[in-house]
Structure 1
Amino acid sequence: MNTDDEPERTFSAMPPAHGRGFASSWWGQAWLRALEETALDGQQLKRGRLLAREGRVGAVSVRPGRVTAVVQDRDGTAYRGDVLLQRLSAREWDRFLDMASERSGHIAALLDREMPTHLVEDAAAAGVHLLPGIGDLEPECGCEAWDHCPHTGALCYQVARLLDQDPFVLLLLRGRSERQLLDELQVRSAARVVRAPRDEGASGASGPPSGIRADEAFAARDILPPLPALPPLPQAPGSPPSLETETGPMADVDPGALELLAADSAVRAFAMLADALADGHALRPPASDLTPDQDAVRLVSATRPDTRTLARVAAASGRQRADLDAAVSAWRFGGAAALAVYDEEWAPGPHELARARAALAGAWEDGDAPRLRPSHNRWTVVGAGTQLRYGRDGRWWPYRKERGRWVPAGPAGEDPAGVLAGVSTAAGGDA
């Protein structure tokens, strides 16, 4: 029984292995080769193979430096057998962990319960011998044999079966459990990530980073800590810092405009994050890129700039101030689609016109329909100062006349009567 705080794994007794070999992996076969080249009496090993094949090896306990099991002779006599394997020193473990952390492919192989030859070869090149060699498997048995007896031989054959399933058994024998190994590899991998930029800066190296193979990066996922939970969406976009300082700006820098752009960046980032966290985000197509004119209108709508900056945006967009104000109102009611309806007068085709007329004819009860005067995609209510505009998407947009200009009056809808009813009738005649 292990009375120390050392890691230990216990494997249940395995069933008989009739008609099959004890090791199919190359590392399991290397274990058996070390046994067979160490034992002085081949007949003892032959008897041990028979005991193992008949399932006479009990539960196997593995801990650093020692593997133990109770083995029954064919006459029913039970003996405790132990096989000892030298642990790796702390310095050897450091070399092995440094080597393994440099190539996540090594880690991936172990996590897949494999021990590729290049891992063992790289470890040997670092002065660390993982697999046992001649004389490394030292026997101890209750039968008091001084060399490998049938009991320790049977135990070794059973361990070969365990190694086939899980090479971490060998690493535990060498002194470290699977959890200890992965934790230490994680620490070393994180330290390398932190150290790499500093080393690159010190060396003055330029050019693209060397990187690692995609399969190695993916394989390392099991030794990395889980990603933290996503932070909640903030209540509102953040406020940019004020640029009003004692130091005056350069001649070609407008602090007010710069603050406006910073505030707009915060608003856009907030909107993008809210959209990304919303249900069904992955199913929605990406938004189309805005034209410079659309983006200028969006910018004013989102940031509400001061008069001076607003005049600059209007001049840059080619709109008069009143035109820009109306365009911003349209944007607030429906984004780019509403702005297109405000800017564009188009002639519906026969099918579109028939659909629009059918919607208008069915929108009001007999005698309740207002008198409408059509012009392309616009139907003006005669004598009321209100207007319906038909969008290319089949929706209706309400407008009203203010100071001789048609301005957006509300969001779009499918029902022209409902859309028009929501407009506060303004004084003034028709267009």
Structure 2
Amino acid sequence: MTAARAPRHDDRRRTFPALPPRPGAEGDFAASWWGNAWVESMEDTALDTARLRRGRAYAGGGHVDAITVTPGKVTAYVHGSRPRPYRTEIRLRTLDEAGWEDLLDSAAARPDHIAALLDKDMPHSLAEVAGLLPGPGDLTPDCSCPDDGYPCKHAAALCYQTARLLDEDPFVLFLMRGRGEQEVLADLTRRNAARSAVERTAAAPAMPTVAAGAALAARGLPALPPPFPVPAGPGQPPDFPQAPGAPDPLALDLLATEAAARAHAFLSTGIDPVAALTPWQDAVRLAAAHPGSGLTASTRALYRDLAAATDRTPMDLARAVAAWRQGGFAGLAVLETPWDPPAGPFDRARPALIAADFPHFRPWRNHLSTDTLQLRFGQDGLWYGYESDRGREDWWPRGTPDTDPVGALTALLGR
């Protein structure tokens, strides 16, 4: 007799248990902006608002059974006035290959997008790429009931309950458009790994050699060679394999990289670059040394453990890492410490930006801001670029610091 096989996980088919009733809900049915955008795409094309009200009441009253989501389709049984429930579904278009390429390239290019998705949040700018959220007329309802309304109350109820699923997990929206969560994360990991490989590739220093015959010849030992010169940079550790019972490869890589960097600093300067850092600054430095952190289970665990050890959240750490990669210790100080700069370069910045035909910026301490762009003046005399989605006040470091505010803004905008 053969042993029973374990059930195979299907990343492109997810079934969610029936959601508990939520009677008496007023205002927006969903809690997230993307959940309400899903509802609006149906409401904007509905032909009968009375059916929408009945569907909303059905959803709030728990009439919708378990919901199954597959690419291009959301299906559930909805209980109506008859004993037998109706089979109801909502169909929508899946993304083609070009659409997925645009969407994944956009997500991989910005660490704040990846951090937001892992925190179950959907950035506005990412949702706009390739039409991830449905627009008016994109949702096609269908139901086994005799009502020919568009939509019927059963399809409306399914749409409202689906919005609650999207509140809890925006990756459900990716599945509706054609790809499951694990498939999306694996693709993002591959794209990030390719970028990281380019960043971390370095030529190995040439090592002097001695011929074997000369070394074994019967003669006196030669004088010791002079000490090797200090290499231009620390070496890269080997690839550590994943093996049962062995230490975590990511932890080994982290320790080896850290030891090489500190040893190189001692050889070059005689100073330990880590000794003066606080635990939080050191945690940011360690996370910033690993460009792929936050994608795989191992690297997500690194962010989680470092954040927990310093009483911060993984999102706090991701933002601080972006600041460290932008400007090191000075970049982190610009992120975390507003200050009042003296008159001079800061006061000349706004006229210079206006003369360069950039928008008018609002000053606050060492910040100059518009709705989506921000420049911060650091105590090192450099201008640092920041960006946020409109109306979010969720600023993320971007671009290259510059002594000229116009140059920093040009780098931020990619001109």
TM-score class, shorter-chain normalisation, is 0.3 to 0.5
TM-score (norm 2): 0.47
TM-score (norm 1): 0.45
The higher radius of gyration belongs to 1
